[in-house]
């Protein structure tokens, strides 16, 4: 572990960011393929109503992913800072308590979702035509709740211990299996949306099995022994506090999808819910690489901030911003120039493709710079500053998008729903940029005063 620590604190920043981000990017992109693959095969095999059904269930899946991300990000912050100080016992305790948290929260949420499933789906915007598809998909997909949540969280803390390649495999294995199993269950077994759900649950379960095999045989810092799983309330509190901004992001995304579903049903029809579902999946395909960069950035930044190497943190941030702009900008150009071609991957419905073309162009206007907002929250999470991370995470969705989604349709009708996305993106990027610049000034002040302190010593 010592060699990995020295590499993180002294290695070339460009190489480090590539080493830690590339596997994370691959893992996150393949992870995003869970929903994308389901949508493509369901859209081609069942139709636009089935795509709308998957969009109705999406808020529940965001809650599931939010729990896994919350525990993973909070635990990873503790692990990376602990290993930066060479405190393996703290890192192992964080891992054990994260496992217990994941199990407890997942079981409680699964029980609640099953108890109120029908009412939830209607509340999320399921019409009479869409409800049967949504119910069929949700009842099965919830079986994989524990598997998905655990695989997402373990992805983060395996990467935090300095093994990004193994972290990549956690998501990649499940995603590849899902791509293989989806057409088998949907087309060969003729099981429709139910088949897509079964394929996903099987894939998630196998990802979880891989995590345990890695911990046992992969030379991990973490050990499966009873002392590691001793409950420490203080550790659990820190995990939840640091990871809560990430959960808020997923939870608010869930609320926003719910709001959008209902607004689209009010101002439009099920067809527009299907268009939104396709758009969300395309945006997620681009956002996952940005999230992969952010997670790789957080691990390196946490180590270097814990070691008080602030100039390296600043240089790392600048490089990471450049990467996110390049990746998001490339996706922006493809979707702006070829929107109909992109949508046609999901559906052959001519009406859906025609109406979705301009909608996709509207929602991605500010997309090239969205990575700045993601990295801003990641920076403060890596430094252990939960309050700024929470505020920046909430700014895009809670402070701006939800109000805009209600207000703009009053002026622009259905188009106002779509316009709320770039408006909120612009405002949140501006605020995050200002906060980052202020933190960089603090780094610069430390760099100026530090030589003076040394000279007096």
pLDDT tens for each residue of 152-177: 888 888 888 878 788 878 888 888 89
> What average pLDDT does this structure show over 320-333?
93
Candidate from 57-61, 361-365, 383-387 with smallest mean pLDDT: 383-387
pTM: 0.75
Q: How big is the CA angle at 196 (ends 192 and 201), to the nearest 5 degrees?
A: 145
3-state secondary structure the chain: CHHHHHHHHHCCHHHHHHHHHHHHHHHHHHHHHHHHHHHHHHHHHCCHHHHHHHHHHHHHHHHHHHHHHHHHHHHHHHHHHHHHCCCHHHHHHHHHHHHHHHHHHHHHHHHHHHHCHHHHHHHCCCCCCCHHHHHHHHHHHHHHHHHHHHHHHHHHHHHHCCCHHHHHHHHHHHHHHHHHHHHHHHHHCCCHHHHHHHHHHHHHHHHHHHHHHHHHHCCCCCCCCHHHHCCCHHHHHHHHHHHHHHHHHHHHHHHHHHHHHHHHHHHCCHHHHHHHHHHHHHHHHHHHHHHHHHHHHHHHHHHHHHCCCHHHHHHHHHHHHHHHHHHHHHHHHHHHHCHHHHHHCCCCCHHHHHHHHHHHHHHCCCHHHHHHHHHHHHHHHHCCCHHHHHHHHHHHHHHHHHHHHHHHHHHHCHHHHHHHHHHHHHHHHHHHHHHHHHHHHHHHHHHHHHHHHHHHC
pLDDT tops 90 at residue 330? yes
Q: Is residue 401 part of a domain?
A: yes
Give the tens place of pLDDT for each residue, 292-325: 888 888 888 888 887 778 888 888 898 999 999 9
| pLDDT value at residue 421 | 93
Rg of the chain's alpha carbons, rounded to an integer? Answer: 22
> What average pLDDT does this structure show over 55-78?
89
pLDDT tops 50 at residue 280? yes
Q: Is residue 125 part of a domain?
A: yes
| pLDDT value at residue 4 | 67
| pLDDT value at residue 179 | 87
- Separation between Cα atoms, residue 69 and residue 80, nearest integer Å: 16
| Residue predicted with more confidence, 209 or 447 | 209
- The domain containing residue 359 runs over which residues? 2-450
Query: Would you place residue 447 in the very low, low, confident or very high pLDDT band (cuts 50, 70, 90)?
Result: low
- Separation between Cα atoms, residue 159 and residue 8, nearest integer Å: 13
pLDDT tops 60 at residue 454? no
> What average pLDDT does this structure show over 371-384?
86
Query: Would you place residue 22 in the very low, low, confident or very high pLDDT band (cuts 50, 70, 90)?
Result: confident
Candidate from 79-88, 228-237, 397-406 with smallest mean pLDDT: 79-88
| pLDDT value at residue 452 | 43
What percent of the chain lies above the pLDDT cut of 70? 95
| pLDDT value at residue 389 | 80
Block residue for tokens 């949420």:
109
Candidate from 123-127, 378-382, 386-390 with smallest mean pLDDT: 386-390
Give the tens place of pLDDT for each residue, 108-129: 999 999 999 999 999 988 999 9
Q: Is residue 457 part of a domain?
A: no
Q: Is residue 367 part of a domain?
A: yes
| Residue predicted with more confidence, 193 or 448 | 193
> What average pLDDT does this structure show over 372-395?
83
Give the tens place of pLDDT for each residue, 180-218: 999 999 999 999 899 989 998 999 999 999 999 998 887
Query: Would you place residue 86 in the very low, low, confident or very high pLDDT band (cuts 50, 70, 90)?
Result: confident
Q: What is the domain count for the chain?
A: 1
Query: Would you place residue 453 in the very low, low, confident or very high pLDDT band (cuts 50, 70, 90)?
Result: very low
| pLDDT value at residue 457 | 31
Q: Is residue 208 part of a domain?
A: yes
- Separation between Cα atoms, residue 425 and residue 191, nearest integer Å: 39
| Residue predicted with more confidence, 385 or 456 | 385
Give the tens place of pLDDT for each residue, 408-417: 999 999 999 9
């Amino acid at each position: 572990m010592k060699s990995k620590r020295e590499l993180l604190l002294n290695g070339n920043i460009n190489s480090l960011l590539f080493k830690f981000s590339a596997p994370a990017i691959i893992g996150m992109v393949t992870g995003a393929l869970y929903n994308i693959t389901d949508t493509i095969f369901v859209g081609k095999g069942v139709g636009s109503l089935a795509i709308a059904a998957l969009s109705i269930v999406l808020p529940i899946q965001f809650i599931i992913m939010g729990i896994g991300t919350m525990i993973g990000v909070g635990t990873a912050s503790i692990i990376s800072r602990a290993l930066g100080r060479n405190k393996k016992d703290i890192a192992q305790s964080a891992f054990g308590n994260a496992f217990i948290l994941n199990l407890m929260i997942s079981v409680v949420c699964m029980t609640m979702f099953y108890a109120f499933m029908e009412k939830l789906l209607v509340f999320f915007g399921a019409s009479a035509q869409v409800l049967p598809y949504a119910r069929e998909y949700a009842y099965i997909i919830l079986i994989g709740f524990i598997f998905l949540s655990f695989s997402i969280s373990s992805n983060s803390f395996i990467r935090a211990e300095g093994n990004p390649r193994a972290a990549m495999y956690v998501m990649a294995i499940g995603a590849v299996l899902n791509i293989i199993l989806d057409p088998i269950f949907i087309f060969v077994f003729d099981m429709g949306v139910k088949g897509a759900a079964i394929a996903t649950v099987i894939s998630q379960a196998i990802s979880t099995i891989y995590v345990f095999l890695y911990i046992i045989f992969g030379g991990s810092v973490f050990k499966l022994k009873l002392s590691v799983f001793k409950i420490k309330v203080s550790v659990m509190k820190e995990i939840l506090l640091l990871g809560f901004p990430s959960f808020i992001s997923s939870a608010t995304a869930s609320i926003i999808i719910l709001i959008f579903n209902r607004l689209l049903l009010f101002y439009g029809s099920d067809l527009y819910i299907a268009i939104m579902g396709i758009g969300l999946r395309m945006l997620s395909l681009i956002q996952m690489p940005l999230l992969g960069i952010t997670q790789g950035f957080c691990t390196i930044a946490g180590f270097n901030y814990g070691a008080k190497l602030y100039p390296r943190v600043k240089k790392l941030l600048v490089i990471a911003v450049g990467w996110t702009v390049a990746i998001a900008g490339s996706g922006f150009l493809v979707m702006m120039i070829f929107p109909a071609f992109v949508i046609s991957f999901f559906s052959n419905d001519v009406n859906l493709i025609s109406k979705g073309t301009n909608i996709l162009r509207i929602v991605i206007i500010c997309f090239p710079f969205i990575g700045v907002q993601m990295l801003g929250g990641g920076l403060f999470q890596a430094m252990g500053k939960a309050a700024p991370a929470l505020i920046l995470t909430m700014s895009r969705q809670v402070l701006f998008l939800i109000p805009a989604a209600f207000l703009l349709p009053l002026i622009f009708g259905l188009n106002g729903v779509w316009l709320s996305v770039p408006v909120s993106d612009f405002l949140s990027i501006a605020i995050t940029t200002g906060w980052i610049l202020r933190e960089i000034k603090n780094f610069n002040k430390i760099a100026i005063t530090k030589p003076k302190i040394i000279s007096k010593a």
